[in-house]
Structure 1
């Protein structure tokens, strides 16, 4: 199975407290039930987990793979493999709200904290002088979307929703669940 560690919109269950259409009425012969059923066919749909969801009740961005593994909503920011970054070179700059590209070393937390298997021999000894593993790449990240330097999840510059303000086109919308 291919792992899909990518952001995916998630929605609350139809009829839940977060659904603006309210719970499904118990009496199937009532006018309230008929109105709810009409809304159900318009705004509610099945999901990958065989649950009816409300397209008007977004829960947020989730990691597709982590959520599937946990069988519950896992925020995209909490994805175990979401890219994290360290600013290339010296200490990280102070946080800014400006959306602009900055160069950063991007990889998983395991790789950036030198816990990746590539830092060790087959016997488990640390490889002296090894500075980075093959999983870490230099990439452009958005300085305004997330802090750079404290291993927090980052947003690649190509995925920044505000980069159009910097004269570029925004990234395409993610796949619908």
Structure 2
């Protein structure tokens, strides 16, 4: 498998989403102190500013970036999944 590595990581909603309760980005020219407080909770990411108080969950960071939406880690389309052979369920407590 080639291409970008798919990794699990925290996903936060964007600062301009309905999940951010802080309101719109203040004008830094009008009120620098207010903007400083706002920007502390809204760091820049590859896709714009995110809200650290709007945690969406654990996501596949690569799939989420490609789809420009949160893709939960369990729904990553590339992640390697190992299934038991023949429908058997592994039991770690079984003596061999």
TM-score range, shorter chain: 0.5 to 0.7
- 1:147-162 map, 5 Å: none
- For residue 45 of structure 1, report the CA deviation from its aligned partner: 0.8
The alignment partner of 1:85 has SS state of coil
Q: Could you state the TM-score of these two structures normalised by the residue count of structure 2? A: 0.67
Structure number, greater radius of gyration: 1
- For residue 78 of structure 1, report the CA deviation from its aligned partner: 0.7
Q: Could you state the TM-score of these two structures normalised by the residue count of structure 1? A: 0.41
Structure 2 unaligned segments of length 5 or more: list them: none
Show the counterpart of 1:20: 21
- For residue 17 of structure 1, report the CA deviation from its aligned partner: 2.3
- For residue 15 of structure 1, report the CA deviation from its aligned partner: 4.1
Per-residue CA deviations over 1:27-63 (Å, capped at 9, x if unaligned) read: 88988x964x2332211111112x1111121111221
Show the counterpart of 1:47: 45
- For residue 3 of structure 1, report the CA deviation from its aligned partner: 1.1
In the alignment of these two chains, the number of paired residues is 91
**Cα distance in structure 1, aligned partners of 2:66 and 2:39:** 29
CA RMSD between the two structures: 3.2
Match of 1:67 among 54, 64, 85: 64
**Cα distance in structure 2, aligned partners of 1:3 and 1:26:** 36
- For residue 86 of structure 1, report the CA deviation from its aligned partner: 2.2
The structure 1 segments of at least 4 consecutive aligned residues displaced by more than 3 Å after TM superposition are 25-31, 87-90
- 1:74-153 map, 5 Å: 74-87=71-84, 91-92=88-89, 102=92
**Residues 17 and 39 (structure 1 numbering): CA distance in 2 closer, same or farther, change over 3 Å?**
farther
- For residue 83 of structure 1, report the CA deviation from its aligned partner: 2.7
Contact kept in structure 2, 1:4 and 1:64, CA below 8 Å: no
- Greater relative contact order (CA < 8 Å, ≥ 6 in sequence): 2
